[in-house]
Chain A
């Protein structure tokens, strides 16, 4: 063997790889989240940007520092912390104090993600747990929903307020809270476009669907989970005599179904598993909305299904073709 030969690289096949990598997938998710940000800025004002920036900045910072302290390879370049930051901010009321948002990032990135082994190892969606911890720790700040003059007048009236009084920060119940108290809810068009109150990134079903369509086209997500999730919500709403459109657009259903339930690490691998997972999410969401004391049920529904995911994966193991179940008959 001459010297030229000794420089040849001998590696196992295949020798080519799809240009899509983890970072490009995460960047696609961030891009898909942008229409909802645009609506949030329109509906809630410029503070929406400040909140996103805070969540993203602290998430990336915590990711970098934790990796360094744990002596692990740096992973801020994979953009997964950016995705977590954006989604966390979308789950918060726009008025939340920024230091609380930073605590949410800490819980999401350090506790839920990195302490369980980092990307792909977390048992629950980091942003989701961040939100739940903030919700149980700072329930007042987490349930103060600002009303703005961009929102449906029905919302103002149902809250016993008039839309002119916008000089001071005014808060009121969200559509789902109005629903829980059997009051008038905004028209479906407002619910769909997002001119209602709620967490900053969850209000506009239209913007979230647009992002979801992009992710479907780019094959970043599989339609199984969102379809099963929202389908179950709609079917259960109809079965219980409620408006299915309202329930699919209200609260965190769209954001949850398209961007949070489809989190790779905490959802099943196979299509069958994804359908079971989606149905479970929809079922629990509607169950909590209608029967439990919380007006909104997406967070806890998702958390419970996240925990069930390893089991669903076991139940839905794929079988190789051509072999009858229970092994080959010889």
Chain B
């Protein structure tokens, strides 16, 4: 058997219209709306009240829960309300609404932390409010503290940016290469990891040569050029492409000796170590065929989408689709009244020509979805099994392995929403697994009582 060199994938038009657009800081808006849940895990509880004055970098929400990342004010001003609202994901959350004073005074707490060992490092990571900025938004201090630290030998810095349109990581790498290298070195040092790999897709040769230059005397950091095949930036794909290790569903990267962080996460971490400024701004690509001035902007977290769009010259016509993230995995927003969170990396605004869904036609069994699936799944088989709610087939064909990269739906000439069907199928399988666990538990208890 020939050993596998690359995972399958698809070829996309990159549409990197904003490549070369340096990141522009956006002036603070009149009000920011900072949600308490900007990560995977327990919600934060506000530690400020309406009427309180806050400054930039001040802690405003925190929690005792183990899996949680605190949030900080991105502006100086006055807390005017603490309100519930419906999030991007359709859940209820709490916003801290701050009316800005435009002075952007720094909080007294914004001083470089003292870090000399792993405990202090992890404490600093938590205090920075850092979450995975690639989109998953998992609290970084939890990720950096796995059960098996001695087995972790590789830190992968994800600079793939494989989604079309988005260029903000590219621009960040060009502007902050030194800090990213230093952040990588610090993380390697404090977590006792031997090797760092900065992995960048081949369509960013300037970033690749910049990092190669900066790290030529640093043996522990390797700069890795990724192929131009979507989705190189997906965690499981980038791990395989750079290390040859397979991350299977239900396992953590640390279980196979790897930690993966986005370039932006490493940058924000290094900036916190240098200045003590927690994660309060986020750089975004603002693009799409309706944006008057597409560009890369750095916005205070909590800025509403409509303020960002306004800053970029507004839209040419009424938008039909607003995406948070790229066109392959991004989420379509129900409203422009939502705020930018830590995990967002793009706002894309499109017209009806882009947004109209093509009617689904019959599967012709062409196998393009199979050819495109990086996880080696058979999407059409799964989608057909979902249509008839066939749990046996969904399990046998590994539905839970799907990472929802969208390659199958993109490739489908019959316009079947394979990725969406498999996403629903995963829920069905999870429900069934939970039911089985409960049943087993009930049986065990019944046995005890008898």
Contact = CB atoms under 8 A, between A and B. Distances in A.
Interface stretch (A2-10, A47-55, A96-104): A2-10
A217 interface: no
B362 A323 contact: no
Given A5-B337, A15-B332, A320-B376, A264 B366 contact: yes
Contacts of B249: 320
Interface residues of B, number: 66
Interface of A: 1-2, 4-5, 7-18, 20-22, 24-25, 75, 78, 80, 117-121, 222, 264-265, 267, 269-270, 313, 317-323, 328
A5 B365 CA distance: 38
Given A5-B334, A9-B355, A10-B332, 19 more contacts: A1-B335, A8-B333, A11-B357, A14-B328, A14-B329, A15-B328, A15-B354, A15-B355, A16-B164, A22-B414, A25-B364, A119-B364, A120-B365, A270-B378, A313-B381, A320-B248, A321-B240, A321-B248, A322-B247
B377 A320 contact: yes
A162 to B, nearest CB: 49
A320 B404 contact: no
A12 B320 contact: no
B212 to A, nearest CB: 30
B115 to A, nearest CB: 36
Contact of B332 (A9, A18, A117, A270): A9
A12 B377 CA distance: 20
B331 interface: yes
13 contacts: A1-B334, A5-B337, A8-B319, A13-B332, A14-B406, A15-B323, A80-B364, A120-B362, A120-B363, A270-B378, A313-B381, A321-B248, A328-B248
A165 to B, nearest CB: 47
A321 B329 contact: no
A181 to B, nearest CB: 40
Nearest to A21: B413
A328 B357 CA distance: 39
Nearest to A267: B365
B362 A119 contact: yes
Contacts of B361: 22, 75, 78, 119
Q: B interface, by DSSP: helix, strand, loop or mixed?
A: loop
Contact of A25 (B240, B245, B366): B366
Contact of B406 (A13, A24, A222, A313): A13
A17 B353 CA distance: 13
B450 interface: no
A119 B247 CA distance: 38
A13 B364 contact: no
B412 interface: yes
Contacts of A75: 361-362
Contacts of B401: 320
Nearest to B90: A10
Contacts of B202: none
Interface in B223-255: 240, 245-249
A320 B375 contact: yes
Contact of B370 (A4, A269, A319): A269
B366 A318 contact: no
B322 interface: yes
Please list the 9 inter-chain residue pairs (A to B) with the smallest Cβ-Cβ separation, ordered nearest first.
A322-B246, A14-B406, A12-B420, A5-B335, A15-B327, A264-B365, A16-B327, A120-B364, A120-B362
A279 to B, nearest CB: 18
Contact of A14 (B318, B367, B381, B409): B409
Interface in B363-420: 363-368, 370, 375-378, 380-381, 396-398, 401, 404, 406, 409-415, 417, 419-420
Nearest to B420: A12
Contacts of A119: 361-362, 364
B337 A321 contact: no
Contacts of B118: none
B336 interface: yes
A9 B329 CA distance: 16
Given A22-B414, A25-B413, A317-B397, A9 B320 contact: yes
Contacts of A323: 246, 248
Contacts of A267: 365
A173 B86 CA distance: 78
B75 to A, nearest CB: 25
A321 B376 contact: yes
Contacts of A78: 361
Nearest to B349: A8
B417 A318 contact: no
B318 A7 contact: yes
A262 to B, nearest CB: 10
Nearest to A26: B364
Given A13-B328, A264-B364, A318 B410 contact: no
Q: Which of A4, A9, A22, A25 has the most CB of B within 10 A?
A: A9
A5 B420 CA distance: 23
Given A120-B362, A321-B240, A322-B247, A9 B321 contact: yes
Contact of A222 (B330, B331, B363, B367): B367
B91 to A, nearest CB: 15
B83 to A, nearest CB: 15
Contacts of B366: 25, 264
A270 B370 contact: yes
A8 B335 contact: yes
Contacts of A8: 319-322, 332-336
Contacts of A17: 358, 409-410, 412, 415
A4 B333 CA distance: 13
Contacts of A25: 364, 366, 413
Contacts of B4: 321
A10 B362 contact: no
Q: Which of A16, A25, A120, A313 has the most CB of B within 10 A?
A: A16
A329 to B, nearest CB: 12
A68 to B, nearest CB: 17
Nearest to A270: B370
A321 B7 contact: yes
Contact of A16 (B240, B328, B363): B328
A311 B333 CA distance: 44
Contacts of A16: 12, 164, 327-328, 354, 410
A10 to B, nearest CB: 5
Contacts of A328: 248
